[in-house]
Structure 1
Amino acid sequence: MDVESGRLVPRADELLGRLGGLGFGSELQRSAVESNSRVHDTLDALFADLSDSRRRLDAAASSLGLAVVAAGTVPLADAAFHDVTADPRYRRMADDYRRVADEQLICSAQVHVDVPDRDTAVRVMCLVSPWLPPLLALSASSPFWFGSDTGYASWRTMLWQRWPTAGPAGCYGSAADYDAAMTELIGSGVISDPGMLYHDVRPSAHQRTLELRVCDACPRAETVVLVAGLFRALVRDACDRLERGSDRGCDGHHEWLRAATWRAARSGLEGRLVDPQTRRATPAPMVVRGMLHRLRPALEASGDFATVRTLLEEVLATGGAAHRLRREARDLLAGIDMLVAETRGDRLAPSAPARRHRPPDAPRGPGGAPVRVHSATTPGTPG
């Protein structure tokens, strides 16, 4: 974003020129930079990696009069002033999907977890899917869109679900079944390649991993680590259940999952979620603490339980990013300052004053297995 106005600007190519590759890349929109972590076995190493990449992004952006925000959306943006990266594939997508692509001014956090093989990835995909809406709620960071409060914790999710393949993944008995269904989908002409399979979770087309794709990008790196730890535990728990034969798979009824995802996007951590075990409306803290309890054996096996429990209780105490943004946003520039500072790794006191005056045209706001992460707008990301 422009550091003075707080508005999204299409200058990613300049920023990438300063970074020189090394874990960063372009995306569909020229207002976004993709950041990729290395592969890690521990959450501490993942946190150090994410923190370092964010510091590098911040330093490079500062030299250009820019600021970087990791969030599902930024409060001040205008699709009319953004254009698509000069890449034939991106240009074709822009032509095919028109306004959906024009308004792809969103950013997600994606987590890859190692799995033994592609068949396991497909079978695990079905078992972990009911638990993905609570992960979305933990990450929700996009309440504002084009200068106004949407009433949602994750408006990115609402925008994202306009793509034809976004949403719950469905259930398949084997990698062959999954691949056949995906080949049929590509053959329909609605999408052009496997990189456009935008399900909430999917086996990677190029790596031996299962990929989580439902979450907003998170201002605090600690939240990314929390989500990564929980997702790794979900995958490990599902693999163990399959190996023991104690879980014959899900019942194939995922109709309720889209509704549960909507509920998570609407409420975040500050309302009710659909409990994956009872499928009843339940206060969000009860759902995520119940998930922690259910996953404790898998978290302890990875050495992650203490870290994940601490991070979870911290986010429940401070509120999710969407809640913090609304709470801090006496005007939108104050909220943007908070997002920039959290992305950089700073800690802002709740009573910290805004550092700038609101310009006349800025609208007001309201008072185990190896793991790696990347943050991106996601169309065009094939892996």
Structure 2
Amino acid sequence: MDDNVSVGVEEEFHIVDLSSRRLVPRGAEVIERLAGGRYTAELQRSAVETNTLPWVYLGDLRKDLTELRARMVEAARELGLAPVAAGTAPLTTPETAEITAGERYEYLHNHYQLIARQQMVCGLQVHADVADRDLAVAVAQRVQPWLPVFLALTVSSPYWMGADSGYDSSRTVAWQRWPTAGPAGPFANAAEYDQAVADLVRADAMLDAGMIYFDVRPSAHVPTVELRVCDATPLVEDVILIAGLFRALVIKERDAAAANEPLPPVRPALARAATWRAARYGMDGDLVTVLDPVPIPARERVESLLEELRPTLVALGDWPMVRELANAALSRGSSAARQRAAFAERGELADVVDLLTTETASGLGLP
């Protein structure tokens, strides 16, 4: 097994006003105070994306994530603002929507209309190295059965436009409206995948390969497999947990593909249903997968994934850290559950925003 597989993370953050706790279209002002090119704009002017470097060791990834967050928190604070790492910002209204200037973002707005205007959501993307594109296409399909577990671990968007959505991840519900989102496949190889992408461009469903929003995909710009199903995650510890689990799963399935082990069955309807269930109930409900449609408690699914990946995690030297992070995540419950508990105290969404700004900045060594 190649134990030098790097993993990198893209995090998206909402920008909120510290006084009103409302989402504000001021991401560009925060970016202006941050040099180095690892902070970028998003479709909505109320969001900022950060990009780590690729790292072999999870400890290095954690340090990079922490430093990127700390710089952004400080830059935002100088403006009376704060970043929020969550699928949605609780205090949001349709009037908040302002599209970032630029040809690409204008295309998205003009072409997709309501979907683009309501794209006030933030996600977490994890990249794991797979240099061979045929292998990357195979791995992207092979990891599909476990995607509901990754989503359930990160659900952080119970509130949509100022009200409880009834979902633990309302971001997923909004995201699935894009014509190139959701499960993908089957694809026999990279050529077949590339042809499908070309056909989607020809059908005017998207502008280019960068607008493939599958739950997991071969990256459009780097030699990786990219996990895209997760909500943005307030706690750095949970980001590292997801990165460690996904890297191990990619390695395991890469080796299985190289050994010509059979692919799991491609069942798009059941895959969509499994994602829906994870978005609806998160860690507090039952999950199903494309391999097992029987509802099983989410915590049991997490434990099954850990056991499935334990040999790989041990070989990588990641097992003690990942097991500890998983124990902590299971103990404190999901972000969605914590947000609802904060709201239940006084019935104020401002308290939920305060929780999220505090968690997003926690562990960064800031005063």
Q: Is 1:273 aligned to 2:287, yes or no?
A: yes
Separation of aligned partners in 2, 1:55 and 1:215: 22
Q: TM-score by structure 1 length?
A: 0.88
The residue that corresponds to 1:302 in the other structure is 316
Listed as ranges, the matches of 1:226-305 within 5 Å are 226-245=241-260, 247-275=261-289, 277-305=291-319
Q: Deviations over 1:145-204 (max 9, x none)?
A: 111111111000000011111100222111001101110111001211111111001111
Listed as ranges, the matches of 1:78-227 within 5 Å are 78-227=93-242
Q: 326, 345, 356: which one pairs with 1:312?
A: 326
Separation of aligned partners in 1, 2:293 and 2:226: 24
Q: Deviations over 1:270-315 (max 9, x none)?
A: 1111155432100011001011001111111211111111111111
The residue that corresponds to 2:342 in the other structure is 328
Counterpart secondary structure, 1:25: strand
What are the ranges of 5 or more consecutive residues in structure 1 without an aligned counterpart?
A: 348-383
The residue that corresponds to 2:360 in the other structure is 343
Where relative contact order (Cα < 8 A, 6+ residues apart) is larger, the structure is 1
Separation of aligned partners in 2, 1:28 and 1:251: 35
Q: Deviations over 1:336-358 (max 9, x none)?
A: 111001100159xxxxxxxxxxx
Q: For structure 1, which segment, 298-307 or 32-41, has the greater mean C-alpha deviation from structure 2 after superposition?
A: 298-307
Native 8 Å contact 1:141 1:320 kept in 2: yes
What is the letter of the counterpart of residue 88 of structure 2? T
1:71 to 1:276, Cα distance in 2 relative to 1, 3 A: same
Separation of aligned partners in 2, 1:68 and 1:129: 31
Q: For structure 1, which segment, 166-175 or 19-28, has the greater mean C-alpha deviation from structure 2 after superposition?
A: 19-28
Counterpart secondary structure, 2:217: strand
Runs of 4+ residues deviating >4 angstroms: none
Q: 19, 25, 28: which one pairs with 1:10?
A: 25
What are the ranges of 5 or more consecutive residues in structure 2 without an aligned counterpart?
A: 1-15
Native 8 Å contact 2:22 2:91 kept in 1: yes
Counterpart secondary structure, 1:268: helix
Native 8 Å contact 1:123 1:171 kept in 2: no
Separation of aligned partners in 2, 1:99 and 1:309: 42
Q: TM-score by structure 2 length?
A: 0.92
Query: 1:252 Cα shift?
Result: 2.6
Native 8 Å contact 1:166 1:199 kept in 2: yes
Native 8 Å contact 1:79 1:105 kept in 2: no
Q: Deviations over 1:48-99 (max 9, x none)?
A: 1111111111100000010110100010011213211111110121011111
The residue that corresponds to 1:31 in the other structure is 46
Separation of aligned partners in 2, 1:252 and 1:319: 31
The residue that corresponds to 1:373 in the other structure is none
Percent identical among aligned pairs is: 47
Separation of aligned partners in 1, 2:224 and 2:351: 39
How many residues are aligned here?
346
Query: 1:239 Cα shift?
Result: 1.1
